[in-house]
């Protein structure tokens, strides 16, 4: 085994249909400097998708800025942005906003690397920060934005953006996508892919094991990884050749017991 299967390192190497579509839309948002919104349940692979997106950006042409702060507020936002472009952030939000606009205009005029802003866990953004996006995306009234902004978060983000008070933000959304779990067939292909990349010929997963794995995980990559990692650990210890339904069931029971203990 050259690399451990079902780890974060392999997530971005395998793109199922939902990831391919989401990736294509996010790239479109980047290329056209749009406000893009990516949502998905916990464990649906949003972070893996963002890592893949960042790796694909040309470092000579783009400057990715990744933000993941709980309850992100406007001042925190501008402090992070200005720090990334090596500017001293003013204390006032209004002054920081103005400085950021000036910096972006200067970078555009001088053909410097294009900034790509990604805000992860965006469902936790403060109301003030969500409303601030109106100013962030419009350098001048109705002008094309000078940089793309991608919001990634749980499904609550979509619900918040539908509220009347955020209508001005919703109207600026150029690209959006909801990432759901893999299908049963994609889950089976996902498992095979991880085993192949790790150069593991054994154990193989039976059809009934895959069915139970899919039912328990709903095709969410993180849950699939958790279950399969534990299954492989036990399979190695017992020299199991074929993973059957009972092996998946045993791991699920143990995981449920552990959750009960933790609670």
**How much is the average pLDDT of 177-203?**
91
Sign of CA dihedral 158, 161, 82, 59: positive
3-state SS assignment for residue 91: coil
**How much is the average pLDDT of 14-30?**
89
Distances (CA, A) of 176 to 21, 56, 63, 121, 172: 11, 20, 22, 15, 11
> Based on the domain organization, do 150 and 211 belong to the same domain?
no
Share of the chain above pLDDT 90, in %: 75
With respect to residue 156, please indicate whether it lies within any of the assigned structural domains.
yes
Residue 139 has pLDDT above 70, yes or no: no
CATH classification of the domain holding 220: 1.10.8.60
Residue 257 has pLDDT above 60, yes or no: yes
pLDDT value of residue 248: 97
Q: Structural domain of residue 238, as residue ranges? A: 182-257
Phi (first) and psi of residue 39, to 5 degrees: -125, 160
Confidence band, pLDDT 50/70/90 cuts, at residue 15: low
d(CA 131, CA 152): 16
pLDDT tens column, 228-249: 999 999 998 888 899 999 999 9
DSSP code of 206? P
**How much is the average pLDDT of 195-201?**
88
Confidence band, pLDDT 50/70/90 cuts, at residue 145: confident
CB burial readout 100-124, b (16+ within 10 A) else e: bbebbeebeeeeeebbbbbbbbbbb
pLDDT value of residue 207: 96
> Based on the domain organization, do 51 and 119 belong to the same domain?
yes
Domain count, the chain: 2
């Amino acid at each position: 085994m050259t690399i451990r299967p079902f780890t974060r390192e392999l997530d971005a190497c395998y793109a199922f249909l939902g990831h391919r579509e989401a990736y294509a839309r996010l790239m479109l948002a980047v290329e056209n400097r749009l406000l893009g919104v990516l949502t998905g349940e916990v464990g649906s692979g949003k972070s893996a998708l963002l890592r893949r997106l960042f790796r694909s950006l040309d470092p000579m042409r783009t400057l990715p800025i990744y933000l993941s702060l709980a309850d992100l507020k406007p001042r925190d936002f501008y402090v992070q942005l200005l720090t990334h472009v090596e500017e001293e952030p003013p204390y006032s939000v209004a002054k920081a906003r103005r400085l950021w606009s000036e910096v972006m205009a200067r970078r555009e005029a001088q053909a410097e690397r294009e900034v790509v802003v990604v805000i992860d866990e965006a469902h936790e953004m403060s109301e003030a920060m969500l409303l601030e996006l109106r100013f962030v995306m419009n350098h001048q009234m109705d002008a094309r934005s000078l940089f793309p902004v991608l919001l990634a978060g749980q499904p609550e983000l979509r619900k918040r953006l539908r509220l009347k008070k955020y209508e001005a933000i919703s109207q600026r959304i150029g690209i959006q996508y909801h990432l759901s779990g893999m299908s049963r067939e994609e889950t089976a292909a996902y498992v095979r892919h991880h085993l192949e990349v790790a150069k593991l010929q054994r154990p193989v997963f039976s059809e009934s094991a895959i069915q139970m794995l899919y039912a328990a995980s709903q095709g969410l990559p993180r849950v699939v990884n958790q279950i399969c990692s534990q299954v492989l650990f036990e399979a190695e210890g017992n020299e199991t050749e074929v993973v059957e339904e009972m092996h998946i069931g045993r791991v699920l029971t143990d995981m449920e017991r552990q959750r009960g203990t933790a609670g």
